[in-house]
Amino acid sequence: MGEGAGRSRVSEAETRRILDELQQLVTEQRNERTRDIDLVDLETCLRLINDEDQRVPEVVRGQIPAIARAVTLVERSLRSGGRLVYLGAGTSGRLGVLDASECPPTFGSEPGQVVGIIAGGTEALQRAQEGAEDREDDARRDLEALGLERHDTLVALTASRRTPYVVAGLRYARTVGAATVFITCNTPPPDMEADVVIAAVVGPEVLAGSTRLKSGTAQKLVLNMLSTATMIRLGKVYENLMVDLRPTSRKLEERSKGILMQLLGLAYTDAAALLESARGSVKLALFMGLAGGSAAEAEKRLAAAGGVLRRALGKEPG
């Protein structure tokens, strides 16, 4: 009986510790501006939510210097054959998986080059696995199974800053020498060890503790910037057009032709023929249309320029 009572006391102490920790988080605080949201009419309710959402972009803007440092790390990883790995739980994890899944169709990135890992595995994408965020050992196992190594960059996502699964994954990444980025919506702890810390502190949520709201929006904006800017620097974009997209659907095939028509002034049938001669590669077709030559010659020139079309054309990007 004494042993059981001891366990109970330990459990109670741990519970109290977690409660005290949560009470320090801005994302757990009550938002005075929305205190009566359950009393107002529908349109006022929606305005209150929208008013809070409008605060998010400016907070993210303040983190641009840190986001730029993170982009530099990710670009270095991808250029050296490494990967961008997102790690998160709950909403944060789903956002990482979403961003990773969008990179191949948008930028033509290789499958596995950008990876999203969520606590609780793929089942957690559709059904909440709330207890999974507390299992620290799972983070190590998941990253070991992925083969995380020193050429990779791990982006750890946790709105609360404290999610055990995510923090443990960050620690493991450092032991293997991977670059590390920590994204949170609270002031990070002073002992947080990461190469780059992005703290988008957007304040109390519309509903206290519901970090799928402003915190989720902030994280989504940061991930948009992180992956998009990286891919731009890798030459996946020409002007503001996605020239490495893969025409794997009818929509993307037509978009590919449309890009050639816009940039080269071609008729539809000529754009289609050029795309076919370039084996479906928009970037290859563009180089052929702008500089002339065969597909084989264009491939060599692009490879020598690191895949950056402007560089291959003698226009060095900034």
Distance, in Å, from the CA atom of 206 to the CA atom of 157, rounded to the nearest integer, reads 21
Q: Which domains does the chain have, with CATH numbers?
A: 56-233 (3.40.50.10490), 237-312 (1.10.8.1080)
Let me know: does 135 contact 163? Beta carbons within 8 Å.
no
For residue 155, the cross-strand partners are 86, 181
Residue entry with tokens 């409008």: 54
| 318 residues of the chain, pLDDT tens digit each | 333 344 444 477 677 676 667 777 999 999 999 999 999 999 999 999 999 999 999 999 999 999 999 999 999 999 999 999 999 999 999 999 999 999 998 999 998 999 999 999 999 998 888 788 989 999 999 999 999 999 999 999 999 998 999 999 999 999 999 999 999 999 998 888 999 999 999 999 999 999 999 999 999 999 999 999 999 999 999 999 999 988 888 999 999 999 999 999 999 999 999 999 999 999 999 999 999 989 999 999 999 998 899 999 988 766
Q: Pick the closest to residue 215 from 180, 186, 190 (CA basis).
A: 186
Vertex 304: Cα angle to 298 and 305 (nearest 5): 90
DSSP β-ladder status, 179-184 and 114-118: unpaired
Q: Which residues are catalytic?
A: 102, 133
